[in-house]
Structure 1
Amino acid sequence: MITFVRWLLFPFTLLYASIVWFRNRLFDVGWIKSTSFDIPVVIIGNLAVGGTGKSPMTEYILRILNNAVSVAVLSRGYGRKTKGFRWVKVSNNATEVGDEPLQIKRKFPDTPVAVCEDRVFAVKQLEKNHHAVLLDDAFQHRALRPSYSILLFDYQSLLGPIIPLPTGNFRDLLKESRRADIIVVTKCPNNIDPTSLLHIKTRLEKHTAATIFYANITYMPIRNGAGEIISADQLSKMDVLAVTGIANPSPMLRFLEPKVRQLKHISFPDHHSFSTADLQRIDQTFVQIDSEHKMIVTTEKDYQRLPESFLKKLPIYILPIEQRVLFGQSEQFEQLIKQAFERYRSVN
């Protein structure tokens, strides 16, 4: 729901929308240069602010490719305190490379992962030794012309008014979805209302001819940093402190609550950098839970930002997630993804 205060900012929304529209038209007519490459450059992006599942989608694509393509992952490295082009190493911390690139590198250690705020410069570095590049959060980075675009929308964002910032949550106009090759509506509920589904489909098809897919988040077994899984029976006897620094923790809390004895939650902003005071708050809240069977559960992304000394001090577990394409469309989706990365074969 849009608050009254944000409606007061509507004149700025009109100004912002005009600037965004004009900028896009300058790129469309070629008055602002957009650089293309000879290798496949596949981007994942969204039009709205907030989490749409770009990291799970990146991981899903890497599982589809399964090392069949020499692909490098490129990210801006949001939240890092460094600048310029950097390779991501498993031994890095989130302040050096960002939480999401670090998460991807640790889950796919054989995949080259780099961060750089200048995507064009970075791809020029990567194309020397890689057959393809996969970029996250690059739909608005129009200085780079992708060979294939995957656009994500959060399911709930398409049910309400689509209004640009600062009144709404969209950083680009819905008509820009016409530049996408694939659209994925993410975070769909398990029981989708057919009326809502038709509303979303009709709304998108007014602006784009892209193939539309629907996906939701699948929660994987809870594990610790060493990969040891906690069983459902063990979990049911636990008092759990959930610690999150993500855009929308509600689905995670809804998943956990019926599976644990008692659930408490400490929420931080998305990509939050944990301070000493934050860590003390988490520690004190955990100590105050009066139970012999208790644990902390956090997201994979948040786990990357917690200091190693803190991870060793407390029983901190991870709740991993994966993307799942719905309605029997997964085979079609995977085939389109493979085709998007196949161009390199014809030039090698």
Structure 2
Amino acid sequence: MKLIRKILFPIAIIYWIVTFFRNWLYDMGLFTSKSYDLPIIAIGNLSAGGTGKTPHTEYLIRLLKEKYKVAVLSRGYKRSTKGFVLANDASTAVELGDESYQIHTKFPDVAVAVCEDRRTGIENLISINNPNVILLDDAFQHRKVKASFYVLLTAYDDLFSEDFILPFGDLRESAMGKKRANVVVVTKCPASLSSQEQEKVKQKLQVEVPVFFTAIHYDTKVLSLHSTLPVSEIISKEKVIVAGIAKPKYFVDYLNSGKDKVMIYPDHHNFSEQEIAVLNDLAQDKILVTTEKDFMRLNGKINSEKLYYLPITSMFLEAELDFQETIFKIIKKGNKN
């Protein structure tokens, strides 16, 4: 893999030039970004994935939904539909994409929509739902819209400052894109990360905006449609672990007993009939534990009495109130209602 990336280095240089020129055109005003009269918070990253956008979007939903009418808009990666789609009771993961469907099922009182063109999506949400605030999921590079506030995520063990642009590295654009961020959140940190270590990370990032640190918080139970099981009980048991996410190592390491059958697939993987048959066969005498995102695609295809998922949330290591206060200030400033 490393050899292939070295071979692709000249393509990465071309890609860097293209993305740099595109951003320059927006920065100079030669390409226009549209602003709106309500606060819009964009959550995104510079890398191609694996920074934990969905848990952090869900964190913001929980933070805001009791005080404001919140709507969530994403492009709906790998969905079967096109154009603007507003989630409803009949929606599926195939129609919305797994991440948007996950958010919709967890927060049915929040408007969740998908649209490739974020301007169209925002304008439809305003017309149909009239929200107080819109969360743009995975929209850091979508510069046709000028968000009120940009939350830039970067994983602790894969900082954007130590990466390179695709296809030589994993960045969608160069690290110069950090200039558009209003805050940076370093995700997937060790829960014990000291203040001294945090300062070292800040020095590596070299940003002039506040930097916050979060860790993955795993639930104490795995869930199915019918029951729950304590994680402490299932960790030591032989099981099937299934992960179709960008960086499955954390999830697998947390659950793996050393005797488990581990099945790894690409991020947002659409499981074939043959793959489903294999998983059902493996789960005949064991439970199958997967991520929440994968559960959205596997539910209804795997024996429901065997299929469990492990919920996760994002947990701030410190300064959580400072982050919350920053978000509330942006919303109060941008919301005329």
Between the aligned partners of 1:236 and 1:169, the Cα distance in structure 2 is 32
Q: Check the 8 A contact 1:238/1:295 in 2, yes or no.
A: no
Are 1:333 and 2:323 counterparts? yes
Q: Check the 8 A contact 2:160/2:205 in 1, yes or no.
A: no
Between the aligned partners of 1:103 and 1:248, the Cα distance in structure 2 is 18
What residue in structure 1 maps to residue 288 of structure 2?
296
Between the aligned partners of 1:99 and 1:309, the Cα distance in structure 2 is 15
Between the aligned partners of 2:226 and 2:134, the Cα distance in structure 1 is 29
What residue in structure 2 maps to residue 125 of structure 1?
124
What residue in structure 2 maps to residue 181 of structure 1?
182
CA apart distance, 1:302: 0.4
CA apart distance, 1:90: 4.2
Between the aligned partners of 1:194 and 1:182, the Cα distance in structure 2 is 18
Q: Check the 8 A contact 2:55/2:312 in 1, yes or no.
A: yes
CA apart distance, 1:230: 1.1
Which amino acid letter does the alignment assign opposite residue 303 of structure 1?
F
Alignment coverage as a number of residue pairs: 335
CA apart distance, 1:8: 1.7
Q: Which moves more between the two structures, 127-136 or 36-45? A: 127-136
What residue in structure 2 maps to residue 305 of structure 1?
297
What residue in structure 1 maps to residue 333 of structure 2?
343
Offset from partner CA, 1:290-315 (integer Å, 9 cap, x none)? xxxx3111111001111415343x41
Which amino acid letter does the alignment assign opposite residue 341 of structure 1?
I
Quickly say closer, same or farther: Cα 1:228–1:339, change in 2 above 3 A.
farther
Q: Which moves more between the two structures, 98-107 or 230-239? A: 230-239
Between the aligned partners of 1:305 and 1:299, the Cα distance in structure 2 is 10
Which amino acid letter does the alignment assign opposite residue 109 of structure 1?
P
Offset from partner CA, 1:148-196 (integer Å, 9 cap, x none)? 0000001111288321111011111112111111100101123437776
Between the aligned partners of 2:164 and 2:68, the Cα distance in structure 1 is 39
5+ residue gaps, structure 1, are: none
5+ residue gaps, structure 2, are: none
User: Percent identity between the aligned chains?
Assistant: 37
TM-score in terms of structure 1 length? 0.91
Which amino acid letter does the alignment assign opposite residue 335 of structure 1?
E
Q: Which moves more between the two structures, 263-272 or 86-95? A: 86-95
What residue in structure 2 maps to residue 283 of structure 1?
280
CA apart distance, 1:10: 1.3
Quickly say closer, same or farther: Cα 1:297–1:33, change in 2 above 3 A.
same
What residue in structure 1 maps to residue 311 of structure 2?
320
What residue in structure 2 maps to residue 155 of structure 1?
156
Q: Check the 8 A contact 1:300/1:318 in 2, yes or no.
A: yes
CA apart distance, 1:51: 1.2
Between the aligned partners of 1:306 and 1:233, the Cα distance in structure 2 is 24
Q: Check the 8 A contact 2:283/2:306 in 1, yes or no.
A: no
What residue in structure 2 maps to residue 57 of structure 1?
56
TM-score in terms of structure 2 length? 0.93
Quickly say closer, same or farther: Cα 1:202–1:156, change in 2 above 3 A.
same
Between the aligned partners of 1:60 and 1:192, the Cα distance in structure 2 is 21
What residue in structure 2 maps to residue 110 of structure 1?
109
Quickly say closer, same or farther: Cα 1:224–1:15, change in 2 above 3 A.
same
Give the RMSD, CA atoms, in angstroms. 2.0
Offset from partner CA, 1:107-164 (integer Å, 9 cap, x none)? 1110000000000111111123112110110000001100100000011112883211
Quickly say closer, same or farther: Cα 1:233–1:75, change in 2 above 3 A.
closer
Q: Which moves more between the two structures, 183-192 or 51-60? A: 183-192
Which amino acid letter does the alignment assign opposite residue 325 of structure 1?
F
Q: Check the 8 A contact 1:90/1:102 in 2, yes or no.
A: no
